[in-house]
Chain A
Amino acid sequence: MAGLELLSDQGYRVDGRRAGELRKIQARMGVFAQADGSAYIEQGNTKALAVVYGPHEIRGSRARALPDRALVNCQYSSATFSTGERKRRPHGDRKSCEMGLQLRQTFEAAILTQLHPRSQIDIYVQVLQADGGTYAACVNAATLAVLDAGVPMRDFVCACSAGFVDGTPLADLSHVEEAAGGPQLALALLPASGQIALLEMDARLHEDHLEQVLEAAARAARDVHALLDRVVRQHVREASVLLGD
Chain B
Amino acid sequence: MLKSKTFLKKTRAGGVMKIVREHYLRDDIGCGAPGCAACGSAHEGPVLESQPLDRGSSLCPQPHYLLPDTNVLLHQIVNVWRPGTWASVASSLRPPGSLETYVEQKQGENSNDRNDRAIRVAAKWYNEHLKKLSADNQLQVIFITNDRKNKEKAIEEGIPAFTCEEYVKSLTDNPELIDRLACLSEEGNEVESGKIIFSEHLPLSKLQQGIKSGTYLQGTFRASRENYLEATVWVHGDAEENKEIIIQGLKNLNRAIHEDIVGVELLPKNQWVAPSSVVLHDEGQNEDDVEKEEERERILKTAVNEKMLKPTGRVVGIIKRNWRPYCGMLSKSDIKESRRHLFTPADKRIPRIRIETRQASTLEGQRIIVAIDGWPRNSRYPNGHFVKNLGQVGDKETETEVLLLEHDVPHQPFSQAVLSFLPQMPWTITDKDMKNREDLRHLCVCSVDPPGCTDIDDALHYRELANGNVEVGVHIADVSHFIRPGNALDQESARRGTTVYLCEKRIDMVPELLSSNLCSLRCNVDRLAFSCIWEMNHSAEILKTRFTKSAINSKASLTYAEAQMRIDSATMNDDITNSLRGLNKLAKILKKGRIEKGALTLSSPEVRFHMDSETHDPIDLQTKELRETNSMVEEFMLLANISVAKKIHEEFSEHALLRKHPAPPPSNYEILVKAAKSKNLEIKTDTAKSLADSLDRADSPTFPYLNTLLRILATRCMMQAVYFCSGMDNDFHHYGLASPIYTHFTSPIRRYADIIVHRLLAVAIGADCTYPELTDKHKLADICKNLNFRHKMAQYAQRASVAFHTQLFFKSKGIVSEEAYILFVRKNAIVVLIPKYGLEGTVFFEEKDKPKPRLIYDDEMPSLKVEDTVFHVFDKVKVKIMLDSSNLQHQKIRMSLVEPQIPGINIPTDTSNMANNEPERKKKKLEK
- Which A residue sits closest to B487, measured CB to CB? A167
The one of A16, A21, A208 in contact with B23, judged by C-beta atoms closer than 8 angstroms, is A16
Binary flags per residue of B1-22, CB closer than 8 Å to A gives 1, else 0: 1101010000000001111111
Complex Cα distance, B2 from A16, in Å, reads 12
Tell me if B26 is interfacial: C-beta within 8 Å of chain A: yes
Tell me if B740 is interfacial: C-beta within 8 Å of chain A: no
Tell me if A24 is interfacial: C-beta within 8 Å of chain B: yes
The one of B4, B20, B486, B772 in contact with A131, judged by C-beta atoms closer than 8 angstroms, is B20
Tell me if B203 is interfacial: C-beta within 8 Å of chain A: no
Tell me if B97 is interfacial: C-beta within 8 Å of chain A: yes
Given A24-B4, A206-B770, A208-B769 in contact, is the A17-B20 Cβ separation under 8 Å? no
Interface size on A, residues (CB 8 A): 25
Q: Are A174 and B97 in contact (CB under 8 A)?
A: no
B2 proximity list for chain A (CB < 8 A): 21
Q: Are B24 and A17 in contact (CB under 8 A)?
A: yes
Tell me if B771 is interfacial: C-beta within 8 Å of chain A: yes
Tell me if A209 is interfacial: C-beta within 8 Å of chain B: yes
Tell me if A28 is interfacial: C-beta within 8 Å of chain B: no
Given A10-B45, A12-B95, A16-B97 in contact, is the A167-B22 Cβ separation under 8 Å? no
Q: Are A167 and B20 in contact (CB under 8 A)?
A: no
Q: Are B20 and A45 in contact (CB under 8 A)?
A: yes
Complex Cα distance, B95 from A209, in Å, reads 30
Q: Are A167 and B23 in contact (CB under 8 A)?
A: no
Tell me if A3 is interfacial: C-beta within 8 Å of chain B: no
A206 proximity list for chain B (CB < 8 A): 769-771
A236 proximity list for chain B (CB < 8 A): none
Tell me if B25 is interfacial: C-beta within 8 Å of chain A: yes
Tell me if A93 is interfacial: C-beta within 8 Å of chain B: no
- Residues of A204-235 contacting chain B, CB below 8 A: 206-209, 223
Binary flags per residue of B784-796, CB closer than 8 Å to A gives 1, else 0: 0000000000000
A199 proximity list for chain B (CB < 8 A): none
Complex Cα distance, B17 from A94, in Å, reads 24
Interface size on B, residues (CB 8 A): 24
CB distance from A107 to the nearest CB of B (A): 27
Q: Report which residue of B2, B23, B772 has the largest number of chain A beta carbons within 10 angstroms of its beta carbon.
A: B772
Complex Cα distance, B23 from A230, in Å, reads 25
A167 proximity list for chain B (CB < 8 A): 486, 771
- Which B residue sits closest to A23, measured CB to CB? B22
Q: Are A16 and B26 in contact (CB under 8 A)?
A: yes
The one of B17, B19, B20, B25 in contact with A16, judged by C-beta atoms closer than 8 angstroms, is B25
Binary flags per residue of A30-49, CB closer than 8 Å to B gives 1, else 0: 00000000000000110000
Tell me if A166 is interfacial: C-beta within 8 Å of chain B: yes
Complex Cα distance, B45 from A167, in Å, reads 19
Given A85-B17, A206-B769 in contact, is the A10-B22 Cβ separation under 8 Å? no
The one of A8, A15, A131, A176 in contact with B24, judged by C-beta atoms closer than 8 angstroms, is A15
Q: Are A176 and B769 in contact (CB under 8 A)?
A: no
A15 proximity list for chain B (CB < 8 A): 21-24
Q: Are A176 and B45 in contact (CB under 8 A)?
A: no
CB distance from B532 to the nearest CB of A (A): 24
Q: Are A209 and B769 in contact (CB under 8 A)?
A: yes
CB distance from B263 to the nearest CB of A (A): 22
Tell me if A60 is interfacial: C-beta within 8 Å of chain B: no
- Which B residue sits closest to A166, measured CB to CB? B486
- Residues of B17-44 contacting chain A, CB below 8 A: 17-26, 44
Complex Cα distance, B22 from A40, in Å, reads 19
Tell me if A194 is interfacial: C-beta within 8 Å of chain B: no
Q: Are A176 and B21 in contact (CB under 8 A)?
A: yes
Tell me if A84 is interfacial: C-beta within 8 Å of chain B: yes
Given A167-B486, A167-B771 in contact, is the A24-B19 Cβ separation under 8 Å? no
- Which A residue sits closest to B102, measured CB to CB? A16
CB distance from B865 to the nearest CB of A (A): 59
A174 proximity list for chain B (CB < 8 A): 21-22
Given A45-B22, A84-B19 in contact, is the A24-B45 Cβ separation under 8 Å? no
Complex Cα distance, B21 from A207, in Å, reads 32
The one of A12, A44, A182 in contact with B97, judged by C-beta atoms closer than 8 angstroms, is A12
B97 proximity list for chain A (CB < 8 A): 12, 16
B486 proximity list for chain A (CB < 8 A): 166-167
Q: Are A10 and B95 in contact (CB under 8 A)?
A: yes
A17 proximity list for chain B (CB < 8 A): 4, 24
- Which A residue sits closest to B4, measured CB to CB? A24
Q: Are A84 and B17 in contact (CB under 8 A)?
A: yes
A207 proximity list for chain B (CB < 8 A): 769
Complex Cα distance, B265 from A236, in Å, reads 77
Binary flags per residue of A165-189, CB closer than 8 Å to B gives 1, else 0: 0110000001010000010000000
Complex Cα distance, B24 from A120, in Å, reads 42
Q: Are B769 and A44 in contact (CB under 8 A)?
A: no
- Residues of A49-96 contacting chain B, CB below 8 A: 84-85
B18 proximity list for chain A (CB < 8 A): 84
The one of A24, A131, A182 in contact with B6, judged by C-beta atoms closer than 8 angstroms, is A24
- Which B residue sits closest to A44, measured CB to CB? B22
- Residues of B35-60 contacting chain A, CB below 8 A: 44-45
Complex Cα distance, B486 from A209, in Å, reads 15
B769 proximity list for chain A (CB < 8 A): 206-209
Complex Cα distance, B24 from A44, in Å, reads 10
Complex Cα distance, B145 from A105, in Å, reads 61
Complex Cα distance, B24 from A206, in Å, reads 31
Complex Cα distance, B17 from A131, in Å, reads 14
Complex Cα distance, B117 from A74, in Å, reads 52
B45 proximity list for chain A (CB < 8 A): 10
List 23 A-B residue pairs with CB atoms under 8 Å apart, sorted by A's residue number.
A8-B95, A10-B45, A10-B95, A12-B26, A15-B23, A16-B23, A16-B24, A16-B25, A16-B97, A17-B4, A21-B2, A23-B22, A44-B6, A45-B22, A84-B17, A85-B17, A131-B20, A166-B486, A167-B486, A174-B22, A206-B770, A207-B769, A223-B1
Q: Known pairs A17-B4, A84-B17; list 17 more (Cβ under 8 Å).
A: A12-B26, A12-B95, A12-B97, A15-B21, A15-B22, A15-B24, A16-B25, A16-B26, A16-B97, A17-B24, A23-B24, A24-B24, A45-B20, A45-B22, A167-B486, A167-B771, A209-B769
Interface of B with A (CB < 8 Å)?
A: 1-2, 4, 6, 16-26, 44-45, 95, 97, 486, 769-772
> Which 10 A-B pairs have CB atoms at the shortest separation, nearest pair first?
A208-B769, A16-B24, A16-B97, A84-B17, A15-B22, A206-B770, A206-B769, A44-B22, A17-B24, A15-B24
